[in-house]
Structure 1
């Protein structure tokens, strides 16, 4: 006789389908901790099955709120992504493919196609450890939240550092600024994920970066971030600030490696320790910066 992986409660949750953010928040305020706002539910389901979170009495679905599954572009060219939009649909969108190729690449490396047909971008971000977060951080993404009446916008980095307020707010948008590099600049970007096998695996380390180099090989902009496992992803702001205006060089790469290793707030688990994760993140980021140096770093760049 087979034994279930987890024991289902006698009474299954009630599923509610509000048609507006205001209605969803009224339900959330009414039931509080006995309810959960849910889109695809793939991340939440793993937590319920592993006993990390209790199965609530009420599931408040966000799937029938059109604004939360849409994608629009504002007058500045910034892309507004509905948090309930599933990863598969995000990857198929031609505008996103043209302007946010790094985000599409990151989506393609999350779980299996069947999961990406359900999993939402908002759910990945709401977990605070999702593999899309490093990419969104280096793209300077903004998070829009609503209490059901009023919205507020804040930088993703700021949102990650703020207390979790799921009782009082729901994410209603993710804004990704897009801008073409200047003609005199060369742009490089990267996303790398290290897992315990090649595909369909949780990350051990994820890194992302965007660099712009002037004709003389100096860094005109740089954004680098790391996450993975249970770590909350973050940018390396001090290292970025020190690198701006400098030419990529062995000395600068050594500085970046040392800084990433020291500042990455990695979390150990049964499969990988803190030192391994720090070393891997630093190695990956510096390796990609070295490649950018090779491709467009000026007269002093190494040649392959």
Structure 2
């Protein structure tokens, strides 16, 4: 429920428009917890209006910093996506379309077009529960952050564990080129078809060797208030094995056990676990059938 107008603070926040990351960090250091770094602000606004977070005295907009809204490729082919880049701009970028198709399919599942015109990829990641994160995880994304004096880059999976450091700005989401996949999927389940909080989100990439064995597998799940994560133990256990029905059954059991689902008003933990396992294994089963898979051990 939104906060009634009469309960909103009379003094509206001051808005600052820094032209560089360094200037943004100086302002954040100056105002501390009284300020918030903002790109699109769509997620933050819902928290302010619902009373989950107090509205800050100062909004530090990142929209005037060119590097934070850019999409570039470095000398070794890594794609650097500016965290302030709106989802709609990312979806229509030709370079992103040619290299990050899975991520673009995930963007299309986020809210409504009008929201995607404002919402940024970095804002979705900064929540640590965003629906784009499973897709980014299976793409092996990294996160670059700056504290002003130095920049650090670390795997997104590791960043999700600790969360953003205080007084630090995300400067890029980095995706390395990946080879062709036998299967690549992103699925989101909600209580209605569109414009709904996710119950479960899953993503995956499967690469097969010529003999039909698994060369590489990346699968991830999230949804609701769960912090998305890869199933790295399961991935390692099946790499090098033939994609068979017994192996898929083993993966299903492993996902049920290892998915760190969180209950809320929309769904409980058992439902989320079962849904995630069903979705992932169903997509891998399609890849098995597409490859002409057969298994004499099954009726």
TM value normalised by structure 2: 0.95
Segments of 5+ residues of structure 2 without an aligned counterpart are none
SS of 2:143's partner is strand
Which of 168, 182, 198 is residue 203 of structure 1 equivalent to?
A: 198
Q: How big is the shift at 1:148?
A: 1.5
* Alignment deviations for residues 105-134 of structure 1 (CA, whole Å, 9 cap, x no partner): 000010000000000000000000000000
Match of 1:247 among 242, 251, 255: 242
Contact 2:244-2:293 within 8 A present in 1 as well: no
- Where does structure 1 lack aligned partners over 5 or more consecutive residues? none
Q: Is the 8 A contact 2:244 2:294 kept in 1?
A: no
Q: Which residue is 1:66 aligned to?
A: 66
CA distance in 2, matches of 1:106, 1:150: 32
User: Alpha-carbon deviation of 1:187?
Assistant: 2.2
Deviation per residue, 1:33-70 (Å, 9 max, x gap): 10000000000000111111110000000000000000
What does residue 192 of structure 1 align with? 187
Q: Which residue of 1 aligns with 2:214?
A: 219
Backbone CA RMSD of aligned residues:
1.6
C-alpha contact 2:128 2:163 (8 A) present in aligned 1: no
**1:262 matched residue in structure 2:** 257
Once residues 52 and 267 of structure 1 are traced to their aligned partners in structure 2, the CA distance between those partners, rounded to angstroms, is: 18
Distance in 2 separating the partners of 1:76 and 1:7: 53
Partners of 2:163 and 2:175 in 1: CA distance = 22
Give the Å deviation of 1:270.
1.2
State which of 277, 280, 283 in structure 1 corresponds to 2:278. Answer: 283
Matches within 5 A, 1:1-304: 4=4, 7-165=7-165, 167-181=166-180, 187-296=182-291, 298=293, 300=295
How far off is 1:297 after superposition? 5.5
Structure 2 CA distance for aligned equivalents of residues 176 and 300 of structure 1:
36
Q: 1:124 to 1:288 in 2, by over 3 A?
A: same
CA distance in 1, matches of 2:55, 2:9: 8
Counterpart CA distance in 2 for 1:250 and 1:66 is: 50
Q: CA deviation at 1:299?
A: 5.9
The question of whether the paired residues in 1 share the 8 Å contact of 2:138 and 2:230 is answered with: yes
